A and B are shown apart, each in its own frame.
Chain A
Amino acid sequence: MKSINSHFSIIISVFILLFSFQFTKMVNTIVNDYSIKIVNDYSIVLVASSELKEEELKRQIPEIHVLTEISSKKILDRLKNDMSSKNLTLLQVALPKFYSLKLESMPNQKRLEMIRQKLSGLSSITRVETFAKTHEKVFKMFLLLQSMVYVFASFVALVAILLIFKQIRIWTYEHNRRMSIMTLFGASFFMKSAMLYRMTLVDTFLSAVAVCAVYVIAPQLAVVQNFALELDIVIPKFNVLSEGGMLLGSSLIFAFIAVSIVSRKIGRV
């Protein structure tokens, strides 16, 4: 019973640690995808007296992704019935040029204000509309979401690490006598730690497999899929080879470090 408890406590601790690690990674990917979505939905509107060149603007503001001219044809089409064609031509000539400016990443408020000032400083630009208030709301929500994920993951990881340290203390107590006796008979560091290494490697391997199983199965569940659909997010696919391999590698490294701490603690007799 004592042995089963010992196995479970390490399996659960490592499971929590790996799960929170993978969860942070997954949410980070979702948040990054979402931020691309926000960037794609966001644009600055420029009103210019003459034609603007994307290359020239990029030289001053490197984060510019694309500059698109907003066609005035739609406005003119609407006025077609109310104005004569002569007046319409005159209006077309007098009408300033409208541009939509898309950025490569989400700027913060300070940077957005700098971009606005740089654009306003250009002689050909008569007006800049950054929709700062809307942008600020979206941007703050985005930052809040990101921070919440990091705080949550850090908290869970901290709890897992505390559990692991508790387990190291238990191991030190449980294996102290056997390892000390083996040391007195000349067992090498690895020989006296072999039993603990074997046990920990098996337990951490099981934890890594369990975490992989959760991340492979969970996105296929209807509940999770509906939830993602409601939030308009795409849950990234779990790559068993690369991500599973990384989780397994991390768990094995963890096992090695934990057992080495115990063996060093018991130390030379």
Chain B
Amino acid sequence: MEYVIKANGLNLSYGRDEPIITDASLQIKAQEFVFITGKSGSGKSTIIKSLYGELFPNMGELTVCGVDIKNISSSKLNILRRYLGVVFQDYKLIDEWTVEQNVMLPLIIGGFSKSVCIKQAHKLLKHVKLLHKINKYPYELSGGEQQRVAMARALAHNPILILADEPTGNLDSYSSEVIWNLLKGAKEHLGTTVLVVTHNIPSTLGIDYKHYFLESGVLHEVN
């Protein structure tokens, strides 16, 4: 599998509305760190949604981890999602579960034993400096803390690909730094491919990355 993500002539729209993304092409190799930037409403989140199968292409080809998203079955989509780590703009934490249980979610779905789940959750929560809040519920945390929990959850099962939708939007500088360091660490130490959708690329990232710019539904590769 040369490309983790490969899209050709991709058209995306919600229902029968006008396409939000038109004729987009995207090639992302394993272990690459990629940014997609663009103005608000340009369709950045729409691309992310298509990559984890929440939105299906109207036209064009799209493969993620070698799997054709356009013709994927429900059971195959479930399996694919177990290899992805997704960080959502609105965190998507389960309110009735503790921080620890939320981080353990992908591991439970992956069928890991309880001891492995707990050990891994503790390790990641230590990384995001939230080990002391292990038994708290999401509504007891600040926005920045919730985003760090979401990041720990995305990394918990060592995914092949991390998809992060505005992971530092509205966060304080401390939380932002923790998140960028985690994403960098995932690429450098675990060989994870990272795709981040954001408004701004941090100037102090200190790694090589690929950059796509989205304008009026058209994706341009920036050199």
Binding site for B on A (CB under 8 A): 177-178, 181-188, 191, 268-269
Contact residues, B61-102 vs A (CB, 8 A): 74-75, 77-82, 84, 86, 88, 92-97
Contact residues, B122-153 vs A (CB, 8 A): none
Complex CA gap A269/B82 in Å reads: 14
Please determine whether B82 and A185 come into contact, CB atoms closer than 8 angstroms.
yes
| Residue in A177, A178, A181, A186 whose beta carbon sits within 8 Å of that of B78 in the complex | A186
Q: Which residues of the partner chain B approach A187 to less than 8 Å between Cβ atoms? A: 78, 109
Please judge, given known A-B contacts A191-B109, A268-B74, A269-B54, whether A186 and B92 are in contact too, CB under 8 Å.
Answer: no
Please determine whether B81 and A184 come into contact, CB atoms closer than 8 angstroms.
yes
Q: Which residues of the partner chain A approach B180 to less than 8 Å between Cβ atoms? A: none
Please determine whether A178 and B54 come into contact, CB atoms closer than 8 angstroms.
no
Q: Which residues of the partner chain B approach A177 to less than 8 Å between Cβ atoms? A: 94-95
Please determine whether B86 and A186 come into contact, CB atoms closer than 8 angstroms.
no
A183, A184, A185: residue with the most chain B Cβ atoms closer than 10 Å: A185
Please determine whether A184 and B80 come into contact, CB atoms closer than 8 angstroms.
no
The answer to the question of B106 belonging to the interface, with a C-beta cut-off of 8 Å to chain A, is yes
Complex CA gap A191/B78 in Å reads: 11
Which residue of chain A lies nearest to B78 when distances are taken between CB atoms in the complex? A186
Please determine whether B95 and A184 come into contact, CB atoms closer than 8 angstroms.
no
Please judge, given known A-B contacts A178-B96, A269-B54, whether A184 and B109 are in contact too, CB under 8 Å.
Answer: no
Please judge, given known A-B contacts A177-B94, A177-B95, whether A184 and B86 are in contact too, CB under 8 Å.
Answer: yes
- Residue tally, chain B, CB below 8 Å to A: 22
Q: Which residues of the partner chain B approach A184 to less than 8 Å between Cβ atoms? A: 52, 54, 81, 86, 88, 92
Q: Which residues of the partner chain A approach B106 to less than 8 Å between Cβ atoms? A: 185-186
Q: Which residues of the partner chain A approach B93 to less than 8 Å between Cβ atoms? A: 181
Please judge, given known A-B contacts A191-B109, A268-B74, A269-B54, whether A186 and B94 are in contact too, CB under 8 Å.
Answer: no
Q: Which 6 A-B pairs have the closest CB atoms?
A: A186-B81, A186-B82, A186-B78, A187-B109, A178-B94, A181-B92
Known contacts A181-B92, A181-B94; 15 further A-B pairs (Cβ under 8 A): A178-B94, A178-B95, A184-B86, A184-B88, A185-B82, A185-B86, A186-B79, A186-B80, A186-B81, A186-B82, A186-B106, A187-B78, A187-B109, A188-B78, A269-B54
| Pairs across A and B, CB under 8 Å, 18 listed | A178-B97, A181-B93, A181-B94, A182-B94, A184-B81, A184-B86, A185-B86, A185-B105, A185-B106, A186-B77, A186-B80, A186-B81, A186-B106, A187-B109, A188-B78, A191-B109, A268-B77, A269-B54
Min CB distance, A256 to chain B, in Å?
Answer: 20
Min CB distance, B45 to chain A, in Å?
Answer: 14
Q: Which residues of the partner chain A approach B105 to less than 8 Å between Cβ atoms? A: 181-182, 185
Complex CA gap A191/B81 in Å reads: 14
Which residue of chain A lies nearest to B157 when distances are taken between CB atoms in the complex? A185
Q: Which residues of the partner chain B approach A268 to less than 8 Å between Cβ atoms? A: 74, 77
Which residue of chain B lies nearest to A269 when distances are taken between CB atoms in the complex? B54
Which residue of chain A lies nearest to B80 when distances are taken between CB atoms in the complex? A186
Please determine whether A182 and B95 come into contact, CB atoms closer than 8 angstroms.
no
Contact residues, B33-49 vs A (CB, 8 A): none
Complex CA gap A115/B106 in Å reads: 76
Complex CA gap A212/B31 in Å reads: 62
Min CB distance, A74 to chain B, in Å?
Answer: 84
Please determine whether B109 and A185 come into contact, CB atoms closer than 8 angstroms.
yes
Which residue of chain A lies nearest to B91 when distances are taken between CB atoms in the complex? A181
Complex CA gap A268/B86 in Å reads: 17
Q: Which residues of the partner chain A approach B80 to less than 8 Å between Cβ atoms? A: 186
Q: Which residues of the partner chain B approach A191 to less than 8 Å between Cβ atoms? A: 109
Q: Which residues of the partner chain A approach B84 to less than 8 Å between Cβ atoms? A: 186
Q: Which residues of the partner chain B approach A178 to less than 8 Å between Cβ atoms? A: 94-97
Which residue of chain B lies nearest to A179 when distances are taken between CB atoms in the complex? B94
Complex CA gap A185/B84 in Å reads: 8
Please determine whether B74 and A186 come into contact, CB atoms closer than 8 angstroms.
no
Q: Which residues of the partner chain B approach A188 to less than 8 Å between Cβ atoms? A: 75, 78
